[in-house]
Amino acid sequence: MVVLVTGANGQLGQSLQFIAAEYPQIDFRFYNSQELDITQKKGIETIFNTIKPEFCINAAAYTAVDKAESEPEKAYEINVTGAGNLAEVCKEIGAKLIHISTDFIFDGNQKTPYTEDDRTNPKSVYGQTKLDGEKAIQSIFERYFIIRTSWVYSQFGNNFMKSMLRLSKERETLSIVNDQIGTPTNAVDLAHVLMKIISNTVQNPERKTYGIYNFSNEGQCSWFDFAKKIFQINNIKIDLKPIPSSDYPTPAERPKYSVLDKNKIKRVFGVEVKNWEESLKIIE
């Protein structure tokens, strides 16, 4: 079974490569943005018609949240046009699409975890383009899984955890926002969940499980709590100061609360979700 992965150089792409050997029944084909530009439909068709994947995992995205505010066209081209191109080519060759979305599609005004059916209301260009990408896929065909996730980190790529570890070597004091609440997601945990979705879909072809799903690790914390735990696990002594978002203005507005409800993915696919602190310890 061939599974094509876009965005091979990103966090999720590298996490999928990290676990690939655990799934010998799958012939993974990894493509970075130079090898497969999802904004170019003809290039996608050439590759897909050659290797004929049964599944495509779209881990390619424009994820520079603040930069998107000044580059909306580029964010749209990758997150919306690119997602639509993949959906169209998957439809043409009969492949299934697994697309990664984000908690930024919500405005963060809730006080309880967001379900897949809650109202979307993005507050940033990035969030809007990711939501528009979801809609583009849904308008093209129904053989898709859209996985909304949040606060992704790993031992790969650029992320909050790696930034904190780097900054701890450069500074004695760090001020971290403590009034944005969400849930960290270990990208390797996310990668394993995608494999579970693929396995379940292949083994139970008659089950209609396509649609939108939330996945992050369990629990919730602020960015301050997350940083504190990172330093604690790594035995790093640093003066950590909690600050409100108003003290750290950014071009893009972040959701104040973006905890995701995982009940649907647990129920449909039997996914067991680790607590974020437990998963953080695994990659110390």
Round to whole Å and give the CA distance between 210 and 187: 22
Contact in structure between 48 and 93 (CB atoms under 8 Å): yes
What letter would DSSP give residue 283?
Answer: T
Q: Which residue type is seen at 107?
A: D
- The one catalytic residue in 126, 144, 213, 257 is 126
Please confirm, yes or no, whether 23 is among the known catalytic residues.
no
Residues 6 or more apart in contact with residue 153 via CB below 8 angstroms:
11, 159, 160, 161, 162, 184, 185, 186, 187
Round to whole Å and give the CA distance between 9 and 32: 6
Tell me the residue length of the chain. Answer: 284
What is the helix (H) or strand (E) element at residue 267, kind and residue range? helix 263-269
Contact in structure between 162 and 14 (CB atoms under 8 Å): no
3 state DSSP class of 101: strand
User: Distance between alpha carbon 100 and the CA centroid of its chain, in Å?
Assistant: 5
Q: What interhelical angle do 160-170 and 223-233 show, nearest 10?
A: 70
CA dihedral sign of residues 113, 119, 123, 127: positive
3 state DSSP class of 5: strand
Reading phi first (left if > 0) and then psi (alpha if -120 to 50, else beta), residue 157 is in: left
Helix ranges restricted to H, 141-222:
160-170, 187-203
List, in sequence order, every residue forming a beta bridge with 152; answer none if it has no partner: 185
Task: Catalogue the active-site residues.
Answer: 126
